[in-house]
Amino acid sequence: MPAIRTTCAYCGVGCGIAAQVTGERSVTIKGDKRHPANHGRLCSKGTYLGETVGLEGRLLHPMIGDRQVSWNAALDEVAGRMRAVIAEHGPEAVAFYVSGQLLTEDYYVANKLAKGFVGTGNIDTNSRLCMASAVAAHNRAFGEDVVPCSYADLDCADLVILVGSNTAWCHPVAWQRIEAAREKCGTKLVVIDPRRTETAAMADLHIPVSPDGDVALFNALLDAVAKRGGLDAQFMRDQCDVPDGFLQALSGDHGIDPELFARLVDLVIEHPRTVTLFSQGANQSVCGTDKGNAIINFHLATGRINRPGAGPFSITGQPNAMGGREVGGLANMLACHLGFSEAEREAVADFWQAPNLCAGPGLKAVDLYRALHAGRIKFLWVMATNPAVSMPDAGFVREALARCPNVIVSDVIADTDTGSFADVRLPALAWGEKDGTVTNSERTISRQRALFAAPGEARADWQIICDVAGRLGYGSDFGFQNPAAVFREYAAMTRLPAQAGKALDLTPWADCSDVDYDTMAPFQWGGRDVFKDGFSTPNGRGRLIAVKPWTGNRHGLVLNTGRYRDQWHTMTRTGLSASLSKHRREPLLEVSPGDAERIGVPDGGFARLRSAQGESIFRVAVSDGQSQGELFAPMHFTDQNAGGGRTGLVVHAATDPVSGQPGFKNSAVELVPYLPDWRAFLLTRKPVRPDCSYWARARIAGGWLTELAGDGTIDVDALLPGGVRREVSDRARGMARITVPAAAGGLEAALYVTRSGRLPDRSWIERQFSAPSAKIEELLAGRPATPQPDRGKLVCVCHDVGEKVLRGAIEQGANSLPKLCEVTRAGTNCGSCRPILAQLLAQVADQEKETVE
Ligand SMILES: Nc1nc2c(c(=O)[nH]1)N[C@H]1C(S)=C(S)[C@@H](COP(=O)(O)OP(=O)(O)OC[C@H]3O[C@@H](n4cnc5c(=O)[nH]c(N)nc54)[C@H](O)[C@@H]3O)O[C@H]1N2
Ligand SMILES: Nc1nc2c(c(=O)[nH]1)N[C@H]1C(S)=C(S)[C@@H](COP(=O)(O)OP(=O)(O)OC[C@H]3O[C@@H](n4cnc5c(=O)[nH]c(N)nc54)[C@H](O)[C@@H]3O)O[C@H]1N2
Ligand code: SF4
Ligand SMILES: [Mo]
C-alpha cells in the first residue's frame, strides 16, 4: 500500500506526514518530504504518533450517564435537551465550547448551527485561551486576522526574535528551521522570556524580561531604534496610520539590564531582516493584545514587514487554531473574518439562509463559564477540549460544569476530567480516523486523512453536529454528505470577506469535486506577500497602536505556566506513549535556588502551591533557569493521571480587556513546603489511581510507573495486585520493598517505600519490569548484584542515550554537535534533544576552560 499523506495531530507548525498503515491499528510514521511546513522533518511528538493510535481508553459508544445507548437515543437526547432549554430560556441559554483541534469542516458546521440556526452567539473556543490576543492585535493593526509571514521567512531572516515562545519544545520543526538558518547563514537569535528555557539557552542573546514587561521593552526598543535613525519614514508615511504624538509618547524605560538592552538595540540596527515570532508569553497575558501591537508597531515603524525575512509572526498552538479563526469560531466574530455590523450580519444571514442569526457577539470563554456558574447558560456542548483542566481557575469551572443541568461532551477518550461532568458523551473520530482540512500558522491548508476505519461507533464531529441539527429541524441546511461538501460551502462563503476587501478568499475551491478535495495538496491562502497591495483596513493602511506598559502588581511570588516538550495539553493521547513519557514524568514546580532555600523546599521534595483560587501539591525542581520570585509549572496533569500538579486550579482568571484571553503566565501565589510521612514508587501492569496526597503516573514499557507520597501509613493492599508477594522491610527506617512476581518469570508489580531514606534508582528496575524474566532477589535488594554502568539522565529518547554517555563521548573528542550526534546517534531521529546536546557541549567546553585556567 502506498503511504497516506496526512498532517500531524499536534502543533500549529502543521507538519506533513507520510503514514504507512501496517495493521489494523498500527502505522509507521515518517515526515512528508513534499510538505512545505516540514520538508520531511518531524519532532518527537509527531514521530511517536504511532504509539497513540491504539484503542486504549477510547470512548467507542454514545453514553447517557453511565449507560451505553444507541446513536439515535443519544442524538434525540441532545436535541431534546437543547430544544427544551431554548423553549424555556431562549437561545442564549445554549452555549458551545469548541476547539482548535476540530477540523475546519467540524468548526464550520458548529459555528453555522450556533450562530445561524440556534441563534446564540455563545460559541467560543479554547483558542480564546491561546490565540485571542494575537487575533485582536491583527484586527487592530491590519483590519483582519492575518499572519503576514511564512516559515520561509525564517530561512532568510538575519535576526529572529522569539517573544514568549519556547520554540524548541513547542514548535520543534520551526525551531529546526531556525537552527538550520543559523548554521547556514549566521542568523542571529534573541529570546525574550523570563525563564532560561532550552530555547533561551541556545540564543545569541537571552533577555529575561520580567513577567509582562514586554510592552515596556518593545516601546523602549522602538524609541531607541528611532533615536538611532532606524525607522522607515517612507513606509510609515505611505502605508501606515500613525496616531498623533505616537513616537514622542514612547518611553525609554525598559526595566532590563542596560547592557542586555544595548546589545538588543545593536542587533536590531545591524539586522534589518527581522522576524519576531511570538506565542503564549505574549498572548496569555492581561495585556496580551497590547503586547501583540507593541511587536507589530515595531515592524510597521521600521518597515520590517511585507518583505522576505521580515514580519511579526504569531505562531499558532493547535493544529487547527487557524482554521477555527477563519470560519469564525470565536464568540466575537460572526463567520469567515466578518464581524457583527448590520451589513455583515445581513450578508451572513443571506448566505446561510439563516432563520435565527444571533444578534451580536457571544460570551468569551471565561465569561461563558461565569454565566454557566450563575445559571444563565443551561446547556453546554463541549467538543475536543478539556476545560475542567485547561481553563484558568479550573475549580470554579468544575463547579460551573457540575451546576449545569445539560452538559454534552464530544471526545475521543472515555474518561477525561471534563467528561466526568457530562450528561451525554458522544464518541468522536480521532486523529488517524478523521478526514478534513486544517490550517497551520503560515495559512497553509492541508488535508488530514483517515488511516483507519472508524472504531466502535465513533463518528466524525461534523457528522454528529449535522445529526443534531437535523433533529432540530434544520436537516436541509446540514445535509452534507461528506467533508468535501462542507468545505465547498465554506469556500463559497469566503466570497463575503473577499467582497469586503479582506484577504481570506478560498472561492476557487467553492466548486471543487470530491476527487479534487481528496487529492488536495497543501496550499497557502493569501500567498507569501498577502498584504503587498495594502492591508485589510478600509484605507488599506496598517495602523500603529499607542500601547502603554503594564503597571500591575509585582511583589510576592508569581506563577508562570506552560508546556513540556513531549506532552500535549491534558495528555489524553501523548500520555499513552512510553517513549514520550520518558522526558518528564511528574508535574515539577520549577523554583529558583534562592527561593527554594528561603522557603525550604529542596530539589526533589514537595511543596504546596496556593493562590486565592485553589491549591495543589507539586514535586519541586530547583532550577537556575528561574528568576527569583518566579515559579513555573506545567499545564498538563489531570485527575486521570495525577493527584497534585493541578496547575489550572491555582491560576487566576484575570483576562485581557480587549481579547478576553486569560493571563495564564502571571498569577500571584504562595508556596509552602510539604513534608510527607512517606514517599514511594510503584510499577504496575494496569494503571492505578491511588488515594494519597500526591501521586503521578507515567506510561513505561509494559505498564505504568507511579510516584507517590502521603501521610499516615501507605495502603499497600490497595496499590498492589493479588498474588504471591516477596517483601523486604526495615520497620525502624520505614523502608519496604515488595515485589509481585509473575507466573511466567517476569515481574507483575513492585513497590518501593521509604519514610526517611532514599528510593532506589528507577531506571534499572524499570528495565527489569519490561524484561521477560526478572531477578527478584536483586529487585528486593533494590539494586543489581553487579553494578551497571551509570548512563546518567536520559537525554535522547529515540536512541536511549544518557547524559553520562554523552559527556564521555565529548571528552573522547566528539566536540561538535554533528560529531556528537554521529558518534552517539543521539539527536539523529526527531532532533528534539539537540538543544540539550548543545548545552552539554557548551558545559564541557566551559569546564575544560576552567581546568586549563
Ligand atoms: N510539546 C508541546 N508543544 C505544544 C503544545 C503542547 O502542549 N506541548 N501545545 C501547543 C499549543 S496549543 C500552544 S498554544 C503552543 C504554545 O507554545 P509556547 O508559547 O512556546 O509555550 P508555553 O510553554 O506556553 O509558553 C512559552 C513561554 O512563554 C514564557 N513567558 C511567560 N511569561 C512571559 C512574559 O511575560 N513575557 C515573555 N516574553 N515570555 C513569557 C514562558 O516562560 C514560556 O517559556 O505550543 C503548541 N505546541
Ligand atoms: N495553566 C495553563 N493552562 C492552559 C495553558 C497554559 O499555558 N497554562 N494553555 C492554554 C492553551 S494555549 C490551550 S490551546 C489549551 C488546551 O487545552 P485543551 O483543549 O483543554 O487540551 P487538550 O488535552 O488538547 O483537550 C482536547 C480534548 O479533545 C479530545 N480530542 C482529541 N481529538 C479530538 C477530536 O478529533 N474530536 C473530539 N471531539 N475530541 C478530540 C482529547 O481527548 C481531549 O480530551 O489549554 C490552555 N490552558
Ligand atoms: S513540530 Fe512536531 S508536533 Fe508540531 S506539527 Fe511538526 S511533528 Fe507535529
Ligand atoms: Mo494553545
Domains of the chain (ranges; CATH) run 4-52 (3.30.200.210), 63-130+320-524 (3.40.50.740), 134-314 (3.40.228.10), 557-674 (2.40.40.20), 678-781 (no CATH), 794-852 (1.10.10.1100)
- Distance (Å, whole) CA 240 – CA 220: 20
Nearest CA to ligand 1 atom 8: 568
Choosing from 7, 30, 35, 42 the residue with most ligand 3 atoms within 8 A of its CB, the one to mutate for a pocket test is 42
Closest C-alpha to ligand 1, atom 19: 280
Backbone angles phi, psi at 98, to 5 degrees: -115, -160
**Pick from 538, 511, 539, 507: nearest CA to 525:** 507
Supply the Cα-derived Rg of the chain in whole angstroms.
27
For residues 127, 130, 135 and 140, what is the CA-based torsion angle, rounded to 10 degrees? 140
C-beta of residue 74 within 8 angstroms of C-beta of residue 360? no
Instruction: Tell me the C-alpha distance between 585 and 775, whole Å.
Output: 25
Looking at the DSSP bridge assignments, the partners of residue 491 are none
Residue 312 CB partners (closer than 8 Å, separation 6+): 148, 149, 276, 278, 292, 295, 296, 298, 299, 305
Q: Residue 797 in contact with residue 583, Cβ under 8 Å?
A: yes
Determine the Cα–Cα distance for residues 571 and 194; give it in Å rounded to an integer.
Answer: 25
Residues with a CB atom less than 6 Å from ligand 1 = 11, 130, 163-166, 169-170, 192-195, 197, 209, 211-212, 214, 279-281, 285, 317-318, 560, 562-563, 565, 567-569, 665
Nearest ligand atom owner, CA of 173:
3
Give the ligand whose atoms come closest to the C-alpha of residue 641: 2
| Residues making up the chain, counted from first to last | 853
* Nearest Cα to Cα of residue 427 among 450, 452, 451, 461: 461
Which pLDDT belongs to residue 853? 59
Q: How far is the CA of 288 from the centre of ligand 4 (A)?
A: 14
Please give the distance, rounded to the nearest whole angstrom, from the Cα atom of residue 564 to the centre of ligand 1: 9
Determine contact, residues 115/121, Cβ cutoff 8 Å.
yes
End-to-end CA distance of the chain: 61
Instruction: Give CA–CA dist 574/50, Å, rounded.
Output: 10
3-state helix, strand, coil in the chain (%, to 5): 35, 20, 45
Compute the Cα dihedral for 811, 815, 821, 822 and give only its sign.
negative
Q: What is the pLDDT of residue 593?
A: 98
Q: What are the C-alpha distances in Å from 213 to residues 98, 194, 300, 632? A: 31, 9, 21, 17
CA distances from 734 to 487, 531, 604, 730, 758 (A): 64, 69, 19, 6, 11
390 C-alpha to center of ligand 2: Å? 7
pLDDT < 70: residue spans in the chain = 553, 851-853
Distance (Å, whole) CA 22 – CA 5: 15
Q: Which atom of ligand 2 is nearest to the CA of 9?
A: 32
The DSSP code for 653 is: -
SS3 assignment, position 338? strand
Distance CA 310, CA 294 (A): 16
**Amino acid (one-letter) located at 527:** G
For residue 339, the CA-to-ligand 3 centroid distance in Å is 32
* Helix (H), strand (E) at residue 836: helix 834-852
* Sequence-ordered list of residues with C-beta below 8 angstroms from that of 485, at least 6 positions apart, any chain: none
Nearest residue by C-alpha to atom 6 in ligand 3: 15
From CA 560, how far away is CA 664, in angstroms rounded?
A: 7
Say if residues 232 and 303 touch (Cβ distance below 8 Å). Answer: yes
Cα(384) to centroid(ligand 2), Å: 7
- Which ligand 3 atom minimizes the distance to the CA of 11? 4
Residue 841 parent element (H or E): helix 834-852
Note the Cα 530 to chain centre separation in Å.
27
Tell me, in angstroms, the distance from the centre of ligand 1 to residue 282's CA: 9
CB-based pocket (< 6 A), ligand 3:
8, 10-11, 13-15, 38, 42-43, 45-46, 171-173
Closest CA to 312 of 592, 544, 576: 544
Q: What angle do CA 552, 557, 560 make, to 5 degrees?
A: 80
C-alpha 278 – ligand 1 centre gap (Å): 9
| CA distance to 276, 279, 544, per residue, from 313 (Å) | 6, 9, 16
For cell 431534546, what's the residue? 80
Do 725 and 749 contact (CB within 8 A), yes or no? no
3-class SS letters over 19-46: EEEEECCEEEEEECCCCCCCCCCCCHHH
Q: Whose CA is nearest to atom 14 of ligand 1?
A: 317
State the Cα–Cα distance between residues 311 and 303, nearest whole angstrom.
Answer: 9
What is the CB-side half-sphere exposure of residue 264 using CA atoms within 13 A? Answer: 26
Output the CA 466–ligand 1 centroid distance in Å. 35
Contact in structure between 286 and 366 (CB atoms under 8 Å): no
Nearest CA to ligand 1 atom 17: 170
Cβ atoms 680, 688 nearer than 8 A: no
Q: Mutation test of ligand 1: which of 284, 665, 797, 833 has the most ligand atoms closer than 8 Å to its C-beta? A: 665
Cα of 127 vs centre of ligand 4, distance in Å, is 6
Q: Give me ligand 4 centre to Cα 183, in Å.
A: 29
Distance 218 CA to ligand 2 centre (A): 31
Q: Is the dihedral of CA 635, 637, 640, 643 positive or negative?
A: negative
DSSP 575: G
Please provide the average confidence, as pLDDT, over all residues in the chain: 96
Distance 488 CA to ligand 4 centre (A): 27
Give the pocket of ligand 2 (CB within 6 Å): 99, 101, 126, 129-130, 280, 284, 317-318, 383-387, 389-390, 410-413, 416, 428, 430, 434, 461, 561-562, 569-570, 572, 635, 647-648, 651, 664
Residue nearest to atom 10 of ligand 1 (CA): 317
Q: What's this model's pTM, rounded to 2 decimal places? A: 0.96
Report the C-alpha gap between 622 and 440 in whole angstroms: 36
Write the residue with the smallest CA distance to atom 47 of ligand 1: 170
Are 390 and 569 a contacting pair, CB within 8 Å?
yes
Residue type, 425: R
Residue that is written with C-alpha cell 465550547 in the block: 97
Cα separations (Å) of 507 from 144, 496, 498, 529?
18, 10, 9, 19
Contact 782, 752 (CB under 8 A): yes
Contact 297, 547 (CB under 8 A): yes
Atom of ligand 3 nearest to the CA of 31: 7
